[in-house]
Structure 1
């Protein structure tokens, strides 16, 4: 394995000093304000823009999944294409996602019963409603992280590691993932806890998450990093879902890699190393997309490509009476 030349100290665990990043405007009056933090990296890795607190320890949640997928490839996982994209996915629970996860389990020689993620209903509300109408119960397969968990089982099986405890932070698989998290973020992990799906969750900084995104998109062709980026960009719906904003964003911006995470997290990076990372303090998903789009404009992406992602309409009596928009500090003209 090739690791970063130097790993910085772990970010401090503190209350983040977030700043206003989005406004909810109704009838010309600011009705609500979302706080958060944003970092924009230049192609050379320098910080072009920082808002709020980009150095405090935080939980990247599922935005870290591409890094976890890189780690599994480095440990010998032989997936590519749709199945690799699914291994880095927070999927919507569509039939393509369930079928893909079953295929990974089959390749690993294990079954759904070997998964240790929590049973859940499909993430997409339309898919979930159909699931419920059909009388189907929560399942590990339908839970949005099942592709990652299936890939973890496959990686463990290929390396001769135990399967029952593959989510234990001291398991060789999770130790290998932790090493790559530190390698790609360029900093030591501040704390290890448990993500919603049951997998270890590694706390880094928002700055570190943006660095990892840039490392993945700038890696040479054929490397584990490049394989993950290629798979997610070419099969964006497998990494999320047919109705998800991150899939639409990757289709709209050539070469863009992006991944969202619960609690208002998103990272994105371009092939030249420009990267952004966003954390919405209150976890509001409605603010995540517009703020990430504004950050990408600040990174130099053509605003015309991002027009549909820049705001969320607000309805009153069935008519549009306002919307959620990024704060002025994210306006490119603000300096």
Structure 2
């Protein structure tokens, strides 16, 4: 059971009460338009923070408790660095990754384990096939079984085990919320979001998952992206920005987004979660209520324009086309309340 008595000292950032647990008051954030008619509506919530940390724009419910899923991984990586994890560069990026299961990802996770004197057998994440469809299809053709190393969170789990070895913490129960590692993670979540954790459950990979608000999540990624050089936060941000394909995959939209916008730190999460932040502290956080990836990207792009990013940089992310008879007849696009006039027009 989660305890407020963390194993690491709390930092000086004031921590507010936990966000309210309620059904979020989501609103329309994206339309599926076909032939000029709104065929479908995606609901969700959006938070945009200015460089001063205040909420510059919002849609929906940015204060209700929700699960950030893998968008919380940069925060978890910061916790591990604070606890002494010595990783840098690609391997640190992999520690914060939802990777695609490409060979470079698997090799990196092995390196993290080997540096701690461990093997894949020590991992406690669930076995899975690679996340990238092309890589997964290749595995199936070759008859390769699901494995813990191929599962998209193996870099995080390898780094968690490495952190445990460095601190003399037990390995077999490292996913228990009462374990010193997870208590350290919880303390960092509360420090960077500026609020108490509302709920603790189990994420898809087996690790503890902490409920915060969308506003709190945006604040956390802003603090990581704008941190002073050399701090644990800056080390994580620099690693992910320099190696976005390691933090995701060579064909992933989040990697393309980070390459497109100079200095951007971005992380996606299952169930339609997206965060992104700039070095000056501007940040966005998106939750798509139905978990649809097709809405996550254009809504995040529109939110980044709201945050002041050059719209020309975000044209490729304005929304995937809808096809009819093999030709484009519409598009998924953000609602007018979100997309300012400067966002590229969509069919």
2:174 aligns with one of 160, 166, 178: 166
Partner of 2:312: 304
Moved over 6 A (4+): none
Question: Within 1, Cα distance between the matches of 2:326 and 2:164?
Answer: 52
Partner of 1:225: 233
Where does residue 278 of structure 2 map in the other structure? Answer: 270
TM-score (norm. length: structure 2): 0.95
Aligned with residue 150 of structure 1, among 137, 148, 158: 158
Q: Indicate the RMSD between aligned Cα atoms, in angstroms.
A: 0.9
Deviation for aligned residue 1:318:
1.1
Aligned match for 2:31, one of 23, 27, 38: 23
Aligned length: 334
Q: What is the deviation of 1:108?
A: 1.0
Q: Contact 2:43–2:290 (CA<8 Å) still a contact in 1?
A: yes
Deviation of 1:317 after TM superposition, in Å, equals: 1.5
Aligned partner of 2:203 in structure 1 is 195
1:54 is aligned to 62
Give the match for residue 5 of structure 2. none
Return the offset for 1:311.
1.0
Kindly report which structure 2 residues correspond to 1:92-241, keeping only aligned pairs within 5 A, or say none.
Answer: 92-241=100-249
Instruction: Provide TM-score, normalisation by structure 1.
Output: 0.99
Residue 335 (structure 2) pairs with residue 327 (structure 1) = yes
Structure 2 distance, partners of 1:216, 1:5, is: 14
1:210–1:4: structure 2 CA closer, same or farther, 3 Å change rule? farther
SS at match of 2:147: coil
Is the Cα contact below 8 Å between 2:294 and 2:319 reproduced in 1? no
1:4–1:186 Cα contact (<8 Å) kept: no
1:3 Cα offset (Å): 1.3
The aligned counterpart of 1:73 is: 81
| Distance in 2 between residues matched to 1:150 and 1:244, nearest whole Å | 22
Alpha-carbon distance between aligned partners in 2 of 1:34 and 1:332, rounded to the nearest angstrom: 18
d(CA) in 1 for partners of 2:332 and 2:225? 30
CA distance in 1, matches of 2:66, 2:341: 29
